[in-house]
Amino acid sequence: MDRVDRLLALVAELRAASPDPLDAAALAGRLGVSERTVRRDVELLTHGGLPVRSRPGRGYALPEAAPGPAPLTEAESLTGPVRDTLTEAVRTRRVVRLSYTDQAGARSVRDVEAHGLVVAPYGEYLVGWCRMRDGPRMFRLDRIGAAFLSGRSAHVRDLDDLMAALRVPTPRPTAGPGGGAGPRGPAGAARARLWTLDRLAHVRSRLRDAAAEAVPSGSGAAALRGVLGHLAEWTRWQAAAVRSAATGEEPVLAGRRPWFPPEFDRELPYDARERMIQDAMALRSLGEVARDLEDVLSSVAHWAADCDDALWEDELPDPRLYGPPGPPRPLADLLAGWRGPLAHIEWHLDRLTDEPPPSPPGDDEEMWVVDRCPLQA
């Protein structure tokens, strides 16, 4: 394990044993490192502020955890800070009554089952089940004028239902002239940015899970490496093209792009381009390919979090590898909507368990994991 994972494991071991001590030999055995490494890690944690006590001849110990704050009374919930009331409601799984002002300025009083507090790029939110709307909702803390902690318990809710509150849908097509579907309209910069960042986090989590589950010597790892190699290069290009369309600057290819022959940057049939990608990525391990794709997505996330608000309100040309761009779409849709890089990644992850189709006669190089890619069309 790397150093960060080792430090996390070390703290977890000390907390599990607290207030009893653990000697260096026991910790070294559990972490699979030397006693000297354990001593260095403990010293680092101590300098960082962790209250580790060294007991001669007995090892290291953390003090017993201090008792938590006293429960908040209903009266105190009305007079104290709103955030303290919400924290108590989440901690004790309670219903909280809110005085809430929405984005349009309308004020309402509603009962909400408090399930979590979320920090997002544009503020903090309470995620809960709104009993007035009978559905999952997300409430900005700075729009909650007052909160009252009721004596009622929150119901157990399905996680997917609650997560729906965090995923703002992409704008639906509006009716164009004659009633047909027109261009997608923006949903507001803050909502569009938040939805895109949430989709990025979800896709990155799926990729980490897929890489962690792959058995290095198994056929699944080989298939996954082929898929991730394909995704790393195409996501690199898609992200750079969308960013260039938004800013008018030259495309910047993120990540750790491998070397390609000069003809790779010319117009090529899909199959020929994919062969070059697979040949270049074959020199890398699964971990290296996964890190390349992670670097690309990390770059997208940093840019999406920091770019100008106006970009989320405008419609931008949909880049194409060859030929003129497609019809304009909002930035959130270009990054996280259909045919965008995130949807492309999930399309392939959803199909990793498919059985490969029969190989064409005389072709012993299976490329089934990418030969049905939606970008091929």
**Rounded mean pLDDT, 202-207:** 86
Residue 170 in contact with residue 342, Cβ under 8 Å? no
Inform me whether the pLDDT recorded for 187 exceeds 80: no
Inform me whether the pLDDT recorded for 177 exceeds 50: no
Residue 348 in contact with residue 370, Cβ under 8 Å? yes
pLDDT at 295: 93
Euclidean distance between CA atoms 24 and 32, whole angstroms: 12
Euclidean distance between CA atoms 67 and 72, whole angstroms: 14
Residue 214 in contact with residue 221, Cβ under 8 Å? yes
Residue 65 in contact with residue 59, Cβ under 8 Å? no
Phi, psi angle pair for 210, to nearest 5°:
-65, -40
pLDDT at 293: 94
Q: Which domains does the chain have, with CATH numbers?
A: 3-61 (1.10.10.10), 74-166 (2.30.30.520), 184-376 (1.20.120)
Residue 272 CB contacts under 8 Å (≥ 6 apart), including other chains: none
pLDDT at 59: 86
pLDDT at 170: 38
Residue 341 in contact with residue 235, Cβ under 8 Å? yes
pLDDT at 184: 40
- Tokens encoding 350: 């959803």
DSSP assignment string, 265-277? GS---HHHHHHHH
Q: Which residue has the higher pLDDT, 3 or 290?
A: 290
Inform me whether the pLDDT recorded for 127 exceeds 60: yes
pLDDT at 171: 38
Q: What is the DSSP letter of 22?
A: B
Q: Which residue has the higher pLDDT, 319 or 177?
A: 319
Which secondary-structure segment (H or E) carries 228? Answer: helix 219-247
Grouping H, G, I as helix, E, B as strand and the rest as coil, residue 129 is strand
Which secondary-structure segment (H or E) carries 140? Answer: strand 135-140
pLDDT at 198: 82
pLDDT tens-digit map of 42-63: 888 887 778 888 877 778 888 8
User: Exposure of 53 by Cβ count < 10 A (0-12 exposed, 13-18 middle, 19+ buried)?
Assistant: middle
Confidence at 175, pLDDT banded by 50, 70, 90:
very low
- Tokens encoding 286: 């699964």
Inform me whether the pLDDT recorded for 213 exceeds 50: yes
Inform me whether the pLDDT recorded for 191 exceeds 90: no
Place of tokens 């949430």: 198
